[in-house]
Amino acid sequence: MPTDAPDPDDRTSTEIPAPRAPSPHESLDDTPADEELRFVSSFADTDAVLNKVTTRAMATRLPRLIGTALRLVWDVDRRALLALLACQVAAGVLEAAGLLATTATITAVIASGDVLARLRDAAPSLCLLAGAVGARAGLGVAVVYLSQRLTPQINRKAEALLLEAIASAELEAYDHPGFVAEYDAADRGAQSMRTLLTHSQDVIAAAASFAAAASVITYLHPVLLPLLLLGAIPRGIAAVRAARIEYQTSTETQHERVLLNNLRWQIADEWRANQLRAFTLAPHLLAVYEKHADKVQRITQAAAARAARVSILGALAGGAAAGLVWGAVVWLLATHRMSVAAAGTAVIALRTVSTSLGGIVGAGTSMYGTGLYMDNWQQFLDRAGGHRMELRRGGDELPKPRVFRAEGVGFTYQGRKKPAVDGVDLEVPVGKIVALVGENGSGKSTLANLLTGLYMPTTGRVTWDGRDTRDLAPRAAWKHICYLTQHVVHWPLVARDNITAGQPRADHDAAMARALAASGADEVVDGLEHGLHTSLAHEFMGGTDLSGGQWQRINLARAYYRPGVLVVLDEPTSALDPRAEHRIFKGLREQAQDRAVVLVTHRLANVAFADEIVVLEHGRVRERGTFDELVKAEGLFAELWQLQQDR
């Protein structure tokens, strides 16, 4: 209701009352504390996640994350995946062969005798060593190529799954708190798939290298590997603890970060840009942003200090452990328990094992951060899957329905106690125009969403030719509707596709001409440089933008072009000039000849010609009848009509 409208409590008044002084409970000083701006989501409860982050939980999660990455890759390009894994195994085998060749080479070189003879003896193992190094370099190139081939594919697959999930969800899903923000977070998760694959790849490569070097070390002397693993434990524990801190911080700040992301988008958004400036709102929004950014920064900085302390302790313990291992090698050498050649190889192998262990821990811990984003992706897929249209609807198809009915229909939005629509009966047959009127929030748009089968009723039923809309296949059913919503929608497409919605009819030219003439969009298209071929993707380079009224005409043309039977026009002329508005309403009867028309509007003069006017109040039908009947009845409609006349 406009702010200068009469006092809603005084329904008989036709006077415009003086602006009301704010009541005490509206005073800024007296109001209770504002509700905190926070991101509400169905994503796993942060506290529960934080409590579950144990080192063991992290260790068992690693194979699951690698498994998810490999499954995705398997789906998109199994040949490349197999080749990649084969390369890793071959690289591991070559690593082991290279290490063994090192022992043979050193043994030959340090043996007594003629230099040339020793070099000759060393030649085969030297060739093997050089060959192994060269082949490993070749495999490295192949791995990079295969990875670069795979990563865009899994990104694309993850994005496609996400888009498919959101496009197949019930419209009602958007009424659940956080649904869109969760989608944003999941989208970032889809982008992170690339990193997940890289990290998985690093873990697998490091594991292959570790296996090769560990086998060689065990072969050289069985005591070395246990010692080495023992020595790696303090560093490993420290790395896992530091990663755990990082993971906990990511989880703890996750909701705040989604909120910040959303605020950034709102501040930069084109459709808000005008108001942001006109109301000089930027400093306030930036202050809100800073408040939440501060919180994230405080948590992150405290965590960084904790992680640094843990890492320093790990490094000190790791240094002591390394000393122990090297001491053992020297002792083995000094006591002739190991040959000089074997000791030389052991030095190289020990370094390899140590590097690969570091690689496993490093890449593995990085995977947890990425895994968090991937969880968002997976959780959104699961959640959207729960809203899949097919879950709650049947698969029946209707050739061309003739009668649309609401039978005791009620609908309650998520999180609301009172129904938005409550026990409404309505019938709209082909050839009739039914107008829905009522004050703001009385349930008109919700009822329109129910009649069109976009929402499923909470109580009662909506039928098309007697068939419950719950039983109809949604996409096939929506082919029968031409729905102009209150919110004018701009698609970043050329003018023609904006009108055809990318679904040209068999009688395209005639249908387009009719739709353009009936909606007034003909004048808009005539003014475009390339007519129907003009790009209306203003947000992209080279696109043209239209005025609000021009966009509304294009939206009307879209509704008229579609060969549907149920035409629903929700405030179709709110942005139109008087001439354009006159043209629309004059042409509406013609539209109704072979269609059922539902008109939602506040401009009561425009509903005079409707066959039936249904007046809604708090979701219920308060009155119904023709224009004359309702004016004579002196009820709510007559009162609203009188108020408009006074203006």
Ligand X SMILES: Nc1ncnc2c1ncn2[C@@H]1O[C@H](COP(=O)(O)OP(=O)(O)OP(=O)(O)O)[C@@H](O)[C@H]1O
Strands 459-464 and 612-617: unpaired
User: Is 443 an interacting residue with respect to ligand X (CB under 6 A)?
Assistant: yes
Write out the binding residues for ligand X, residues 485-544 only, by CB under 6 A: 486
Stretch that binds ligand X, among 37-45, 105-113, 186-194, 443-451 (CB under 6 A): 443-451
User: Is 573 an interacting residue with respect to ligand X (CB under 6 A)?
Assistant: no
Stretch that binds ligand X, among 260-268, 444-452, 469-477, 603-611 (CB under 6 A): 444-452
What is the closest distance, in whole angstroms, from the C-beta atom of residue 485 to ligand X in the complex?
10
**Closest CB to ligand X among 92 and 419?**
419
Write out the binding residues for ligand X, residues 450-489 only, by CB under 6 A: 486
Question: Biggest alpha carbon distance in the chain?
Answer: 125
Residue owning tokens 């193992």: 125
User: Is 177 an interacting residue with respect to ligand X (CB under 6 A)?
Assistant: no
Q: At 202, is the secondary structure helix, strand, or coil?
A: helix
Q: How far apart are CA 151 and CA 196, in angstroms?
A: 9
Stretch that binds ligand X, among 99-107, 438-446, 492-500, 584-592 (CB under 6 A): 438-446
Q: How far apart are CA 413 and CA 594, in angstroms?
A: 33
Stretch that binds ligand X, among 17-25, 267-275, 318-326, 442-450 (CB under 6 A): 442-450
Among 88, 198, 445, 535, binds ligand X (CB under 6 A): 445
Phi and psi of 41, rounded to 5°? -150, 165
**Interface mask toward ligand X for 119-158; x: CB under 6 A:** ----------------------------------------
Torsion of CA 18, 24, 28, 29, to 10 degrees: 150
CB contact at 8 A, 211 and 359: no
What is the closest distance, in whole angstroms, from the C-beta atom of residue 597 to ligand X in the complex?
17
Q: How far apart are CA 457 and CA 406, in angstroms?
A: 9
What is the closest distance, in whole angstroms, from the C-beta atom of residue 14 to ligand X in the complex?
21
Judged by CB under 6 A, how many residues of this single chain contact ligand X?
Answer: 13
Strands 433-438 and 459-464: unpaired
**Closest CB to ligand X among 376 and 445?**
445
Among 416, 475, 530, 589, binds ligand X (CB under 6 A): 416
Sheet strand arrangement including 620-625 = 481-484, 566-570, 596-600, 433-438, 612-617, 620-625
List of residues 6+ apart from 571 with CB closer than 8 A: 486, 600, 601, 602
In the structure encoding, which two tokens stand for residue 126, read together? 């030297």
Task: Using alpha carbons, list the distances in angstroms from residue 531 to 180, 495, 557, 603.
Answer: 35, 8, 14, 32
Among 209, 251, 442, 550, binds ligand X (CB under 6 A): 442
User: Is 382 an interacting residue with respect to ligand X (CB under 6 A)?
Assistant: no
What is the closest distance, in whole angstroms, from the C-beta atom of residue 413 to ligand X in the complex?
3
Among 60, 440, 459, 547, binds ligand X (CB under 6 A): 440
H/E stretch holding 58 reads: helix 55-76
**Closest CB to ligand X among 70 and 171?**
171
Torsion of CA 282, 287, 292, 295, to 10 degrees: 150
Q: Supply the DSSP symbol for 15.
A: S
Residue owning tokens 């246990």: 226
User: Is 401 an interacting residue with respect to ligand X (CB under 6 A)?
Assistant: no
User: Is 413 an interacting residue with respect to ligand X (CB under 6 A)?
Assistant: yes
CB contact at 8 A, 483 and 511: no
User: Is 176 an interacting residue with respect to ligand X (CB under 6 A)?
Assistant: no
User: Is 178 an interacting residue with respect to ligand X (CB under 6 A)?
Assistant: no
What is the closest distance, in whole angstroms, from the C-beta atom of residue 443 to ligand X in the complex?
4
Stretch that binds ligand X, among 55-63, 318-326, 347-355, 441-449 (CB under 6 A): 441-449
**Closest CB to ligand X among 103 and 442?**
442
User: Is 441 an interacting residue with respect to ligand X (CB under 6 A)?
Assistant: yes
Q: Which residues bind ligand X (CB under 6 A)?
A: 175, 413, 416, 420, 438, 440-446, 486
